[in-house]
Every structure is written in C-alpha cells, then in structure tokens.
Structure 1
Amino acid sequence: MRFHTRKWVKPEDLNPNHSLFGGRLLQWIDEEAALYAIIQLENTHVVTKFISEINFIASPKQGDIIEIGIVATKFGTTSLTLRCEVRNKMTHQQILTIDRLVFVNLDKDGNPRPHGKTAITFVADRLLK
C-alpha cells in the first residue's frame, strides 16, 4: 500500500475530546479515495457507492501527522474497489482501516459506464505510451 496524502491534525480538526474528529478523517479519506479512483479510471465522473465497516483503532491528537494509504483491490465492469489504511506518519501506529470503498465510473449523464480497466496503472507509465 502506498501512502501519498499526509495531513497535520490542527485545532479546527478536533472533537470535544481533543482528538481528531472522525467525520473530518472520513472526509479526507473519501476525497483521497475519489482522487485515486479518478486517476485509475481516467475519468472525473466517479462517485462513492459504498463504504464498508470503518475500524477506528487509535485517536490522533493535535499536532500529529497522519498519512492515508489507498490500494485498488478489485476492478468491476463499472466499479473500482479500494482498501484504505490511515496511520501516524512518525510512529506508523495504525489509526483506521476500511476494507472496501466502492466507486462507480459514470458517463457524462451520470449513468454507470464500463471503464475497461483490469489492473492498477501509474500515470508515469501512461505518459510513455
């Protein structure tokens, strides 16, 4: 799993317990996962369809630097399934896991559209073609 996105937990991200608000973390994850899906499917018309059980393992505190890791686990006809892990950048302590985030590839009218992808690709490799 590659960890690309890093976030610094700031005062505005905290809940009343002085730890990272879970909703903020889920917002960051959904955005990062959507960007990952858009890049993999080479289409900006992608939507979140499903997020499986969310396992909060630890609570980041103000000043912590966290990183979000995403990996593709399944390519459907119109969908892409991802797995996510969030960890503390400095200690590598696991913070959260999500086994399945499903994104659907859409056409310009908002209907599911086959994407034709079967494996993870990297932008650098696409540029060589």
Structure 2
Amino acid sequence: MSDTALPKKLIRASRTTKSSFVLPSDTNTHGTLFGGKLMAYIDDIAAITASKHARSAVVTASADSIDFLSPIREGEVVSLESYVSWTHNTSMEVFVKIVAENVLTGKKKVCATSFLTFVALNEDGKPSKVPEAIPETKEEKYVHDGGYERMIARKARRKNSEKMASEFGSFS
C-alpha cells in the first residue's frame, strides 16, 4: 500500500442507478419481490459504485444493513441508487437507496436502504488506498456524517462474529 496522497473525489462521481420491472418470476407467494433478489441487486450496484470510486477491483467486506421498509410489488419498477458515502484508508462504505414506482400512477416510495463495505484491491489482490469521498448535497452530507460511527459499529460487530466463529465454528 502506497502512502502517496490520492486526490479527493466528489461523491457524485460514484453515483450509480439501476432499474428493473418486478416480474412474476422475481416474486414470492405474496406477489412481492424476493428479499434475496433485492439483496443481489444491492450487492451488484454497490460493487459497481465502489469500483467507480476506487477505479480498481473491489471485494465486499460486509453487508452492514438492509432495512426493508415496505414491499415492492409485481409490476412495479424497482430502482436502486447508490454512492460511496464514506471512505477509510482501503475501505469504502456504499449507501444504496431502493425506490419502488407504480409506472401507471407515477407514485414512488423508498422501500429499503442499505449500507455495504467494500475494500479496494491492487493488481496483486492486496488492499489499496482509496480516495476520500467528499459530499455536496444535503443527503450526501447527512449520510457521510454518520460514516465514522458506522465504521466503529462494523468493527465491533465483526469482532463479535470472529469470536462466535472461533467458539462455535464447527458443526455438531
């Protein structure tokens, strides 16, 4: 890892969007989007976002949270918007906002939010430094301002997961 300072990047440079109709094959017995399908969409867009910010290969370090706020129904359009919300050395926190839209009425609602963490990799597959993310909008500043506290919580959660894995890692 190099100690050379990288130029800072505006958060908007990593902003990524993706939309898709919710088809019958995407839904569960309630006629709503499978949670696992949405999770795959979230990881995919977040990886693209992190790669755009770092301009390198990335790996998912953690899916920090996915808060399902309301169902996304068959026939609606699900849109995901993501951006790198905070950075620390080699890691990037990515925020994803998920919106459902009824295309017939135009009504939109935020259905879920998610935070994931990615690590940038160099050509040798080792962690590499990432540019600092600079917020501009009210939303970006709000999300960015909580980044340090979320990192501390992630580290504590990971430490607990490592302890559980070492104590209860084998199958009975």
How many Å separate the matches in 1 of 2:23 and 2:121?
35
Q: Write out aligned runs for 1:48-127 (5 A).
A: 48-89=60-101, 90-98=106-114, 100-115=115-130, 117-119=131-133
TM-score by length of 2: 0.63
Inter-partner Cα distance in structure 2 for 1:63 and 1:82: 28
Q: Give the match for residue 28 of structure 1.
A: 41
Return the alpha-carbon distance in structure 1 between the equivalents of residues 83 and 53 of structure 2.
Answer: 10
**Over alpha carbons, which structure has the higher Rg?**
2
Q: Distance in 1 between matches of 2:33 and 2:133?
A: 34
Aligned residues: 118
Query: C-alpha deviations, 1:18-72, integer Å up to 9, x for none?
Result: 21000000101110010011111111x1011011221111111111001101122
More helix by share: 2
Point out where structure 1 has 5 or more consecutive residues left out of the alignment: 121-129
After TM superposition, what 4+ stretches of structure 1 lie above 4 angstroms from structure 2?
A: none
More displaced stretch, 86-95 vs 12-21: 86-95
Which residue number in structure 2 is paired with residue 4 of structure 1? Answer: 17
Question: Which residue in the other structure is 2:152 paired with?
Answer: none
Cα distance in 1, alignment partners of residues 34 and 67 from structure 2: 14
Q: What is the rounded CA distance, in whole Å, between the counterparts of 2:107 and 2:113 in structure 1?
A: 16
Paired with 1:108 and 1:17, the residues of 2 have a C-alpha distance of: 45
Query: Secondary structure of 1:53's match?
Result: strand
CA distance in structure 2 between the aligned counterparts of 1:66 and 1:74, rounded to whole angstroms: 25
Q: In percent, how many aligned pairs have the same letter?
A: 28
The SS at the match of 2:107 is coil
Partner AA of 2:53 in structure 1: Q
1:95, distance to aligned residue in structure 2 (A): 0.7
| C-alpha distance in structure 1 between counterparts of 2:120 and 2:55, whole Å | 9
Structure 2 stretches of 5 or more lacking a match?
Answer: 1-11, 135-172
